Amino acid sequence: MTDVLDRTKIYIDGAWVDSDGTGRIEVIDPASEEVIAVVAEGTASDVDRATAAARAAFPAWSALSGAERSAYLGKVAALATDRAGELTEIVSRDMGMPLKLAAAVQIGMPLSNIAAYAKLAGEYDFDDREIGNALVVREPVGVVGAITPWNYPLHQVVLKVFAALAAGCTVVLKPTEVAPLVTYALVDICDEAGLPPGVFNLVSGYGPVVGEAIAAHPDVDMVSFTGSTRAGKRVAAVAADTVKKVALELGGKSANVILDDADLATAVTEGVSKCFLNSGQTCTALTRMLVPADRLGEAAELAAKVAQAYTVGHPSEPGSKLGPLVNATQLARVRSYIDKGVEEGADLVLDGRETGLTTGYFVGPTVFGNVTEDMTIAREEIFGPVLSIIGYRDEDDAVRIANKSEYGLSGGVWSADPARAERVARRMRTGQVYVNGGAFNTEAPFGGYKQSGLGREAGVFGLEEFLEIKSILR
């Protein structure tokens, strides 16, 4: 039996305090199915208190110079970096990613972004443009409400909270209630670093209560949400009553276009990796692999061979590449999509429904071949290690299929001719495209077209999401 961690306080005005509510939410280890912690089921009145603290702290925080805010954020970055190992263990247990991967992805990326925003706060020119007699200045939007997901629990918090803080905003955060523990650890670090009271506040709880209270609150000037498209639409609708600024990072069903002159083995191998990262629980996962129709069988065989090397196992086991899905709901969802693919006639080349593991929410690597563009598994976001391989006639047909989606978050293109690959990338209606396996860039703007969202995160573009523009006419 595991000791259960008590994290039932919420963080308001620089202190861990009791929630107004008495409800509790259990946090489950997805590998063992054991309760490992409890957090508060926050209330709308908790949001009122947190927002009042953020509003009171805003004048002083926004009046600091960028260099002064940079010094605060730099202290957080240093402390968090010192505790990277501890944070890795927490997030791995919290949401199930194998330790080695979690160190690089779940912790390495957000630590890089905390440091980047600390640096950017000190370097960004908020008064950088004159137009005739007008001085154009950028000012912090105000109190930001941030609502974050479970699949990259620390990274998504950092992209919102630290960009907003660097811009001079104050923040009320509702982290995921599914995998919240690494965020609590970050708040402890911010507290130790001496972040002024009220600048960063945390209220735990469920989206329909705490999330909606944040989105609706008249003293929240902007809400930034990452999650499902369905939930994002609800956030936008609630926020509309107060006409506040809204940033949304939502779902994806991204296409990986392997052109006819590409090295198929290399492209398929990298494509499987881009699909299965974080056990497929990634909004940018390249889940649709588009290949020349006459090479469908070859591509499916290659993908299945590569996928079989993605060992399913406990996050603490060194050989594990695929950890568990985050909870029982996600397990049932992914299995149902695999069932649907079989029912609709796709070729199940590799079946991951049964893993041999009796405890934990595990699904193994799954590959479908001969998928048609109208099948459910080709249209809907599955959020699991499930790859759909689709054939196309020619380059124009490949672009058409890639763009035939309500989403537009990410994508990939492979070609022996880099210029050709870039031309195709420019035709794809999506916010990010990997060309020939290009590396992820933590400071490049990140966000989507269509129903994948509004706005951009990361780097200078992410900072500017939290700024208003003012013209001073002289």
What positions carry a catalytic annotation? 249, 283
Sheet with 347-350, strands from edge to edge, namely: 347-350, 366-371, 386-392, 288-292, 255-258, 411-414, 434-435
CA-wise closest residue to 203 among 359, 389, 48: 48
Q: How many whole angstroms separate alpha carbon 51 and alpha carbon 39?
A: 20
Residues contacting 441, CB < 8 A, separation 6+: none
CA-wise closest residue to 12 among 169, 204, 167: 204
CA distance from start to end of the chain: 69
CA-wise closest residue to 190 among 11, 430, 418: 11
Residue pair 148/160 in contact by the 8 Å Cβ criterion: yes
- Position 363, amino acid: V
Q: How many whole angstroms separate alpha carbon 24 and alpha carbon 60?
A: 34
Distances (CA, A) of 76 to 18, 114, 129, 309, 474: 25, 8, 31, 38, 40
